[in-house]
Amino acid sequence: MSEKRGSLTKLWKDLGTQRWIVLLAAGLLLAVIVWPPGEKDGPAQTAPETGAAGEASAENYEKQLEKRLVKLLSQIEGAGQVEVMVTLKESSEQIVKSDTTRQESLVRETDASGGVRDNSDVSESSQTVLTGSGGALEPLIIGETMPKVEGVVVACEGGDRASVRSEISAAIQALFDIDLHKIKVCKMAS
């Protein structure tokens, strides 16, 4: 044991303190460069699928749009009492934060006859960022895309007049950027 200690002491003295510090710093720098950013211990977690909560959110969004449209369209001159139905293309979707790691490598090979080949390899991985503590980990939600309006049907007292139908259709097109053939304005039954 004392022989090993003696050889380590001799090695330490031979290399010098400054060289040991440089070697240690180089090792730490190499570890930082090689370690992929955003990686955490354990397997990658994925976001839960949108289920009934996402559907309920889309239904609430649809009802909210209908209420706001009724309020707005009833203000159009000659429209009178208004009822509205809005259909959506799909349900809402939550956007989760994810860390993406991309690694690229290029290997240049030269054969005996002087030929050169370049081989490149690109790999990319993504991991969902989780928040919470212990067993209650959830994906970090950074936004939510609301569904696009597919079509609108309006029944109003003034729906039999062309000017009212035109004003209502133009208002809906301006609000939702949908084609005219996906908007129907008709006269409300008495």
Across 84-88, 94-98, 150-154, least confident range: 94-98
Could you give the percent of the chain with pLDDT greater than 90? 32
What contacts 24+ positions apart, CB below 8 Å, involve 32-41? 36/101, 36/103, 37/99, 37/101, 38/99, 38/100, 38/101, 38/127, 38/129, 39/99, 39/101, 39/127, 40/127
Across 2-16, 22-36, 164-178, least confident range: 2-16
Between CA 57 and CA 52 the distance in angstroms is 8
pLDDT digit string, tens, across residues 117-166: 888 888 888 888 888 877 788 888 888 777 889 999 999 999 999 999 99
Between CA 172 and CA 183 the distance in angstroms is 8
Q: What residue ranges do the domains of the chain occupy?
A: 1-35, 36-187
Class of domain 36-187: alpha beta
Instruction: Report the mean per-residue pLDDT for the chain.
Output: 78
